[in-house]
Amino acid sequence: MLKFVACHAMSWGSGMRRMILLAVIFILIITATYAKESDQDETTFNDFTLNIGDRIDVGDYRTELIEIQSLKDGLAVMRVSKVGGALDEQRAFLQNSANDFNGGAEGDGITLTVTDILDDQSAKVRVEYKESLGTAKKRTSERASRAPDAPILSVQKSFDKNQIGVGDEVKVTVTVKNIGTGQATNIQAEDLPPLPEFSYIAGYPPKIKETLNPGESDSAVYVINAVKEGSIRVPAIQVSYTDSKKNLKSNNSEPFNILINPKDKAELVFSLRPSGPIIVDGTGSLNISLFNQGKAPATRVEVEGEIRPSEGLEAAGLDKSYFEILPGTDENYSVQLSGKKAGNYTVTLRADYQGGDGAAVQEGMTEVVVLEREYKYLYLLLIIPVLIIVAWSYKRYREYKY
Amino acid sequence: MLNVLMLGVGQCGNRIMDAVNKEAFGGGATSKLSKYCLKPKFPSRVETLAINTAINDLKELRFTTAKDRLHVPNLHGVGANRNVGKQAFMDNRDMIMGEIEKRGDFDLAFVITSTSGGTGSSFSPLLINELKRQYRNITVITVAVLPFREEGSIYLQNAAFSMRELMDLEADGIILADNQYMKRFSGDIASAYDKINSMIAQRLLFLIESLDSEMLSVTDLGDFKTVMNGGLRIGTLGFYQADRKNTSIRDAIENSLKPGNLLYPSNITDDAARAMIIVQGSREYLDTDEITKEVEKLSACAGHVFKGIVVKKGYPKVLSVFALAAAPELESIYAQAARAMQDEKEKRGRARKQLDDAFAHIEDLEEIY
Ligand SMILES: Nc1nc2c(ncn2[C@@H]2O[C@H](COP(=O)(O)OP(=O)(O)O)[C@@H](O)[C@H]2O)c(=O)[nH]1
Ligand SMILES: [Mg+2]
């Protein structure tokens, strides 16, 4: 292409030719500059999955994964050095943020980014560099061959429902999995169920195999019963184990929150309304109403009445039974009372029923007064003379008014 | 049992009769209350009737039932004019007598009136005549009240003429009460009236009770009539009530005869024609010997004396009834009345003469227009 341009230029006049030649040369220079840059200083990158101790070599740069500092926070520690000792730095890498060394990939150095932390043993690392440095290569460390000896147990605890009401049974599943590379022995799970909101029913304490090979898992199920409403924090399960070198290790599940809803139940209330004081040998009535102010139906309601003292006041039909009283409804009945002896009596009604969470009892009470027969006349003794006096005085007043 | 009719005629008569009713309720301050609860307690069957032409006088009464107040309608009242009063009675005679007749038969009637007013003094003589005509065997006693002397010439004149009319009647006697004489009991007129009225009422009730009593030594209506028929057929009443300090029956009798306890001023030893002494009290106070001695003492000057003894729980009470042979106080009223009438006549004549003298100035003149 250069020759073609030059041929072309020669077929023109000498002044013009000089101009064109200069321009062509200028263009050539620029193009050449560009060509040289894109050919020799192109940046490139590679992704590697590193286990702890693994290394990436790029040119004279050595990058080694030292430690996963925090799986949760996304922190991994790496050591970066350059052959010849100009750079040797150990640094914590925050996941997904680029770290430049010696000016980074844009300069003469490299740029490192932890793109993913796979577990507490491995991470994905991206290295960016100039092609001029050659090709990045992964060097598996010797320590990597010891990896099968590192058991890691992941621990999980879960409830079989996330809506729990008081009285509900909850199945708790505890799962322990060896996600490490070595055998875990002496596995001991220690679980504290949330008290006092729950009570144990069966399967507690959960039994986990004592030994788990890498990749193996075991789970245990136990059943508890929610007994109290409220929002509670379910504590973590703690698992301890030892690796082949008898190092004691432990792990735990994440604690979580759960809400226990109050249970729907029936709630019966009595209201007893006597018609008023009864006079000896007279009768009165007692109106009884049984209202279900709860949320669940009350079933097999048995009402039983009792009068104290047991002699002197009689009532027929205090006892009643209802198959069901729906929430928000009431049942009414009326009982005839007959007084035999003056005094104060207590009428107590007791309702036994099934109310959603088992048997329940409700009592209602009222006072009934039986008055001495004479009282009736005492009233009259008072009222009649007053009436007579008033009437008489008025009559007299009229007689003397002129 | 006596059937007694009590007629209060005119304001004075009405009020004395109201006092009788009050006394029947027990008298005193409590009677105001007892009016509303008790029945008036009369010793016999007593019917009371207040008669008046002035409705306001009837309204003033307190212890007389409404049906016992009889209003006699008369256009302008009677204005102390006895002639107008007589006309009003005659116009309403049937109505008045019918009202009395409704109350049944009577043995004894008291007609209570002032002698000096218009209504009472003119109605009473006519009323007494009618009663005598209608009830064959009735005894009619007039209770006549004499005026305060300073009340004026018309009252004096009325008293003089009505007393003459009352004495001319075929009635059975007059019991005199003199306001002038009893005025000394109290300062102001209103309370003097109340006091006088209750004195009269008390004596009348006691009298009725003793006439109707069936105890020990009895006085009856006949005895009373005999006493009242004596002398001028004018009498009066004396009364004494003993107390704890002195229960002597002798003293009580003597006290009842004292001028201070009489309704009309008279000197018993000189003026009494007949008398009746009625003694009441617990048996232990009624010493018969003492009573007899006292009665004999009185008989010496007063001619015949009836005695009655009523045993009733309490300190001795004595009522003395007199018929008088002389009434000097009454005579002086006539003298005063005559003088007052004479004065009035002269004054009128003088006034007329003065006016005539004044007329003399225009005697020969004609009206000029
Ligand atoms: N004792 C007494 N005298 C009375 C009473 N009221 C009026 N008088 C006298 O009665 C006279 C008048 O007569 P009154 O009865 O008022 O006239 P009448 O209503 O027209 O008959 C006067 O002399 C009064 O002093 C009274 O209450 N008691
Ligand atoms: Mg008057």
Region label for A300, one of left (φ > 0), alpha (ψ between -120 and 50) or beta (otherwise): left
CB spacing of B35 vs A389 below 8 angstroms:
no
- CA B76 to ligand 2 centroid distance, Å: 14
Contact B259, B322 (CB under 8 A): no
Kindly state the DSSP code that residue B86 receives in the 8-state scheme.
Answer: H
* Nearest CB partner across the interface for A396, out of B36, B59, B64: B36
Distance between B61 CA and the closest CA of chain A, angstroms: 9
Residues 6+ apart with CB under 8 A from B18: B8, B50, B61, B62, B63, B64, B197
C-alpha B218/C-alpha B108 separation (Å) is: 17
| pLDDT value of residue A243 | 79
Name beta bridge partners: A261.
Answer: A165
Report the SS3 class of residue A390: helix
Of the candidate ranges A55-59, A141-145, B258-262, B299-303, the one whose mean pLDDT is the lowest: A141-145
Q: Which residue has the higher pLDDT, A346 or B41?
A: A346
Q: What share of chain A is helix, strand, coil (3-state, %, to 5)?
A: 20, 50, 30
Q: Which residue has the higher pLDDT, A27 or B286?
A: B286
- Asked whether B146 lines ligand 1 (CB < 6 A), one says no
Contact A271, A289 (CB under 8 A): yes
| pLDDT value of residue A143 | 57
* Structure confidence by residue, pLDDT tens digits, B153-164: 899 999 999 999
Q: Which residue CA neighbors atom 14 of ligand 1 most closely? A: B117
- Evaluated on CA atoms B173, B178, B181, B187, the torsion sign reads positive
Confidence of residue A34 (pLDDT cuts 50, 70, 90): low
Confidence of residue A375 (pLDDT cuts 50, 70, 90): low
The percentage of residues in chain A with a pLDDT greater than 90, rounded to a whole number, is 26
Q: Which residue has the higher pLDDT, B76 or A94?
A: A94
CB spacing of A396 vs B61 below 8 angstroms:
no
Alpha carbon of B107 to those of A270, B227, B295: distances in Å? 82, 17, 28
- Rounded mean pLDDT, A97-121: 88
CB spacing of A401 vs B67 below 8 angstroms:
no
Is the pLDDT score of A39 beyond 90? no
User: Closest ligand 1 atom, CA of B123?
Assistant: 21
**CB-count exposure of residue A204 (10 Å: 0-12, 13-18, 19+):** middle
- CA B114 to ligand 1 centroid distance, Å: 5
Report the SS3 class of residue B256: helix
- Asked whether B120 lines ligand 1 (CB < 6 A), one says yes
Residues 6+ apart with CB under 8 A from B101: B134
Of the candidate ranges A6-15, B22-31, B102-111, the one whose mean pLDDT is the lowest: A6-15
Contact A241, A185 (CB under 8 A): yes
- Asked whether B61 lines ligand 1 (CB < 6 A), one says no
Identity of the residue numbered A233:
R
Nearest CA to A153 among A205, A122, A189?
A189
* Nearest CB partner across the interface for A399, out of B37, B61, B65: B65
| pLDDT value of residue A378 | 74
The string of DSSP letters for A257-325 reads EEEEEPPP---EEEEEEE-S-EETT-EEEEEEEEEE-SSS-EEEEEEEEEEESSSSEEEE---EEEEEE
C-alpha A188/C-alpha A242 separation (Å) is: 10
Is the pLDDT score of B216 beyond 70? no
Report the SS3 class of residue B364: coil
Kindly state the DSSP code that residue B12 receives in the 8-state scheme.
Answer: H
Locate B274 and state its tokens.
């007949």
- Asked whether B179 lines ligand 1 (CB < 6 A), one says yes
- Rounded mean pLDDT, A176-183: 86
Distance between B17 CA and the closest CA of chain A, angstroms: 14
The percentage of residues in chain A with a pLDDT greater than 70, rounded to a whole number, is 90
- CA A374 to ligand 2 centroid distance, Å: 59
Is the pLDDT score of A32 beyond 60? no
| pLDDT value of residue A37 | 47
For residue B94, the Cα-to-chain-centroid distance in whole angstroms is 25
Task: Return the axis-axis angle of helices B119-134 and B153-168, rounded to nearest 10°.
Answer: 10
How many Cβ atoms sit within 10 Å of the Cβ of residue A247? 12
Listed in order, strand segments (DSSP E) in chain B are 3-9, 45-52, 69-71, 108-114, 139-146, 174-178, 234-241, 272-281, 305-311, 317-324
Q: Which residue has the higher pLDDT, A74 or B239?
A: B239
- Rounded mean pLDDT, B48-75: 93
- Asked whether B85 lines ligand 1 (CB < 6 A), one says no
Region label for A303, one of left (φ > 0), alpha (ψ between -120 and 50) or beta (otherwise): beta
Kindly identify which residue of chain B lies nearest to residue A395, measuring between CA atoms: B36
Q: Which residue CA neighbors atom 7 of ligand 1 most closely? A: B12
- Asked whether B308 lines ligand 1 (CB < 6 A), one says no
Report the SS3 class of residue B319: strand
The residue whose two tokens read 């005559």 is B338
- CA B59 to ligand 2 centroid distance, Å: 13
Q: Which residues of A touch B22 (CB under 8 A)?
A: none
**CB-count exposure of residue B73 (10 Å: 0-12, 13-18, 19+):** exposed
- CA B130 to ligand 2 centroid distance, Å: 24
C-alpha B316/C-alpha B240 separation (Å) is: 8
- Asked whether B256 lines ligand 1 (CB < 6 A), one says no
Is the pLDDT score of A7 beyond 70? no
| pLDDT value of residue B71 | 95
Is the pLDDT score of A232 beyond 60? yes
Q: Which ligand is nearest to the CA of B80?
A: 1
Confidence of residue A103 (pLDDT cuts 50, 70, 90): confident
Q: Which residues of B touch A398 (CB under 8 A)?
A: 66
Identify residues of A whose CB sits under 8 angstroms from chain B CBs: 389, 392-393, 396-402
Is the pLDDT score of A12 beyond 50? no
- Rounded mean pLDDT, B228-234: 93
* Nearest CB partner across the interface for B66, out of A389, A393, A402: A402
Report the SS3 class of residue A372: coil
Identity of the residue numbered A319:
D
Is the pLDDT score of A5 beyond 60? no
Mutate to test the interface with A, among B17, B34, B36 (most CBs of A within 10 A): B36
- Rounded mean pLDDT, B240-255: 94
Is the pLDDT score of A80 beyond 50? yes
Q: Which residue has the higher pLDDT, A256 or B72?
A: B72
Of the segments A229-238, A252-261, A385-394, B215-224, which one has the largest average pLDDT value? A385-394
Confidence of residue B11 (pLDDT cuts 50, 70, 90): very high
Confidence of residue B92 (pLDDT cuts 50, 70, 90): very high
C-alpha A201/C-alpha A198 separation (Å) is: 9
Identity of the residue numbered B104:
G
- CA B57 to ligand 1 centroid distance, Å: 10
Identify residues of B whose CB sits under 8 angstroms from chain A CBs: 35-37, 58-59, 61-67, 69
How many Cβ atoms sit within 10 Å of the Cβ of residue B157? 19
Q: Which residue has the higher pLDDT, B118 or A162?
A: B118
pTM over 0.80: no
User: Closest ligand 1 atom, CA of B113?
Assistant: 15
| pLDDT value of residue A10 | 45
Distance between A376 CA and the closest CA of chain B, angstroms: 27
Cβ–Cβ pairs < 8 A, chains A and B? 25
- Rounded mean pLDDT, A360-383: 83
- Asked whether B193 lines ligand 1 (CB < 6 A), one says yes
| pLDDT value of residue A18 | 75
CB spacing of B37 vs A389 below 8 angstroms:
yes
- Asked whether B82 lines ligand 1 (CB < 6 A), one says no
* Structure confidence by residue, pLDDT tens digits, A241-297: 987 777 788 888 888 888 888 877 888 999 999 988 888 888 899 999 999 998 888
Report the SS3 class of residue B140: strand
CB spacing of B37 vs A397 below 8 angstroms:
no
Of the segments A25-34, A133-142, A223-232, B227-236, which one has the largest average pLDDT value? B227-236
- Rounded mean pLDDT, B11-21: 96
Kindly identify which residue of chain A lies nearest to residue B67, measuring between CA atoms: A399
User: Closest ligand 1 atom, CA of B52?
Assistant: 19
Give the H or E element holding residue A200: strand A198-202
- Rounded mean pLDDT, A153-179: 86
User: Closest ligand 1 atom, CA of B159?
Assistant: 23
| pLDDT value of residue A373 | 72
Of the segments A65-74, A136-145, A368-377, which one has the largest average pLDDT value? A65-74
Summary mean pLDDT of chain B: 91
- Asked whether B10 lines ligand 1 (CB < 6 A), one says yes
Q: Which ligand is nearest to the CA of B84?
A: 1
CB spacing of A402 vs B62 below 8 angstroms:
no
Kindly state the DSSP code that residue A141 receives in the 8-state scheme.
Answer: -
Q: Which residues of A328-362 are buried (b: 16+ CB within 10 A; e: fewer)?
A: eeebeeebebebeebbebebbbbbbbbbbeeebeb
Is the pLDDT score of A140 beyond 90? no
| pLDDT value of residue B215 | 60
Q: Which residues of B touch A401 (CB under 8 A)?
A: 66
Among B114, B148, B162, B182, residue to substitute to test ligand 1 (most atoms within 8 Å of Cβ):
B114
- Rounded mean pLDDT, A361-370: 92
The residue whose two tokens read 């009604």 is A349
| pLDDT value of residue B58 | 94
Contact A231, A256 (CB under 8 A): no
* Nearest CB partner across the interface for A402, out of B35, B37, B59: B59
Distance between B24 CA and the closest CA of chain A, angstroms: 15
- Rounded mean pLDDT, A295-306: 91
Supply the ipTM of this predicted assembly. 0.74
- Asked whether B197 lines ligand 1 (CB < 6 A), one says yes
- CA B22 to ligand 2 centroid distance, Å: 20
Q: Which residue has the higher pLDDT, A170 or A38?
A: A170
